[in-house]
Chain A
Amino acid sequence: MPRVIDADVVRHVARLSRLALTDDEVETMRAELSGILDHVDQIQSLDLAGVAPTTHVIHLENVLRTDEPRPSLSPEEALREAPRVAAGGFSVGRMG
């Protein structure tokens, strides 16, 4: 599959990733990602029709939890590491 990593693709992916990049960083990222993808693209040519994808290497199913409540954190603990707290909640600031 031909693929071009240009600055627009980098900006789009950065937005999806919620990473602010300066124009210089966009260019560096473009060059680095292109270099990595040049290598990674070797698997594009493999014919893998009929090969099942692997999500888990060990075969396991039905690992379930019984529906019994466990103790929750106190609100003080839950909020302890939060950068900003307001009215018993985690403040997000202005969402705009």
Chain B
Amino acid sequence: MSAPTDLTATQQIAAVRAGEMTSAELVDAHLARCEDDRWNSYLALNADAARARAREIDAMADKPPLAGVPIAVKDALVTRDLVTTSGSRMLEGFRPLYTATCVARLEEAGAIVVGKTNMDEFAMGSSTENSAYGPTLNPWDTGRVPGGSSGGSASAVAARQAPWSLGSDTGGSIRQPAALCGIVGMKPTYGAVSRYGLIAFASSLDQVGPFARTVADAALLLSYIEGRDPMDSTCVGLREPVCVPTATDLSGVRIGVVEELMGEGTDDGVRAAVREALDRAEHLGATLVPVELPNSRHGLSTYYILAPAECSANLARFDGIRYGHSSADTDNLTEHYERTRAEGFGAEVKRRIMLGTFALASGYYDAYYGQAQRVRTRIAEDFDRAFESVDLIASPTSPSVAFPLASRTDDPMHMYLSDTCTIPISLAGLPSVSIPCGLDAGMPVGLQLSGPAFSENRLFDAAHALEAAIGFDTAPPALEAAA
């Protein structure tokens, strides 16, 4: 039998239910890997509470559905009494007064939070290098980034420090790190999962979603976190329950291929791996149809107006009065605000706050924010039109594989380009999954499959069929070598 940490979440649940393993064993095995955190996946561990909860669940005759299986949670989700920083100095030592709805639902169902994962500060970044607590390293190559902003959640799952985890995705922050770490990452339809307790970056784009090593685990995890929440006005839940996918072929499935994302700007190796995956899809019975999303080329510009604008307001509450960092001994209010925020926020966060404030400022609103909202409409319309003739849309998740640490930190625009493939889908609020589809120079490549709003089940089915056909080994060779 393989090590408990090699098992998928579904297998771990089954093992506990079958009495072959205890929750305490699972929690201990994962915590042992978390405590030896070579990748800096975690910002905080919940060791004592997790062990106590495992013993509790082990003592239950009638076990909750998730049976005491561990989970890692992105530090953007608040957890009562468990330090939550969102990767920022601003929230160093902050102990939330409540738990995010999605985390509370998982705990209720018997999942055990082993720790909080590293991330780009306030989810702003594509490499997890913007964390105030040091970068997370890619388990496939510790000289490279894991992607971001949910880099810690991705590396924790890739490095077997948790069988699955929660991330949040605003412009690609689940899918891109999943691609770069060779695992499955899924962004649900906007409104499927409650944002209550997700520390907001850009409210109209933020969604919580699962990371896992299999599509089935990702679907299972989503089934527990989706659903209406009276605390989030924009949360409607999915229209039908999530089914754990079983599909093995793609007969009759029309897959739209975004040729624009398969050309210039995408690395050859990435393109080759994605092409190969699409060939497999055809073998499984899918029809490939070229689709055009003419406005998607404006996605990045639109996103870098809308998201910073929303963040400039969302992050205004960090003023050092009710919680968080507070500058000492200032003489007046303006100085208090300006110093507190200058000291608490990192460079990327400041940059985006500035950009967003500028885009909303008097005299600039119409040209920037107003215009971007209209482009957003056009981008969403492109997808609507495309889905009249295809069931799913495929593209690379990221134009490149994981890049070396510090290779893009001096060039914000270059870093932003990491999200070219994921951003248009975020702007349209659509569900999208990244599955590993091959390697480019030894580093994983992600295939992004996206569907119409609320088509999660169809998406999981297709991803599941392709996953089996691709047969990607999610175990990073570097991990085995280090072990």
Give the B-binding residues of A (Cβ under 8 A). 1, 3, 5, 9-10, 12-21, 29, 32-33, 35-37, 39-44, 46, 48, 51-58, 60, 63, 65, 73, 77-78, 80-84, 90, 92-96
Q: Which residues of A contact B374 (CB under 8 A)?
A: 46, 48, 51-54
Contacts known (A54-B376, A83-B320, A92-B333); A36 close to B355, Cβ less than 8 A: yes
Sort A-B residue pairs by CB-CB distance and give the 4 closest, nearest first.
A96-B332, A57-B429, A53-B373, A83-B326
Residue in A closest to B354 when the chains form the complex, CB atoms:
A13
B71 to chain A, nearest CB (A): 25
Asked if B377 and A51 sit within 8 Å, CB to CB, the answer is yes
Q: Which of A39, A55, A96 contacts B331 (CB 8 A)?
A: A96
Q: Which of B374, B376, B377 has the most CB of A within 10 A?
A: B374
Which residues in chain B, 282-320, are within 8 Å of chain A measured between CB atoms? 298, 300-302, 304-305, 312, 316, 319-320
Give the A-binding residues of B (Cβ under 8 A). 94-95, 97, 189-191, 204, 230, 233-234, 236, 298, 300-302, 304-305, 312, 316, 319-326, 329-339, 341-342, 345, 350-351, 353-355, 357-358, 361, 364, 367-368, 370-378, 380, 412-413, 416, 427-429, 453
Asked if A54 and B357 sit within 8 Å, CB to CB, the answer is no
Q: Which residues of A contact B94 (CB under 8 A)?
A: 81
Q: How far apart are the CA atoms of A65 and B319 in the complex, in Å?
A: 29
B11 to chain A, nearest CB (A): 35
Asked if A36 and B304 sit within 8 Å, CB to CB, the answer is yes
Q: Which residues of B contact A80 (CB under 8 A)?
A: 95, 97
Q: Which of A16, A20, A60, A78 contacts B191 (CB 8 A)?
A: A60
Residue in A closest to B332 when the chains form the complex, CB atoms:
A96
Asked if A16 and B336 sit within 8 Å, CB to CB, the answer is no
Asked if A73 and B97 sit within 8 Å, CB to CB, the answer is yes
Asked if B342 and A83 sit within 8 Å, CB to CB, the answer is no
Q: How far apart are the CA atoms of A46 and B295 in the complex, in Å?
A: 10
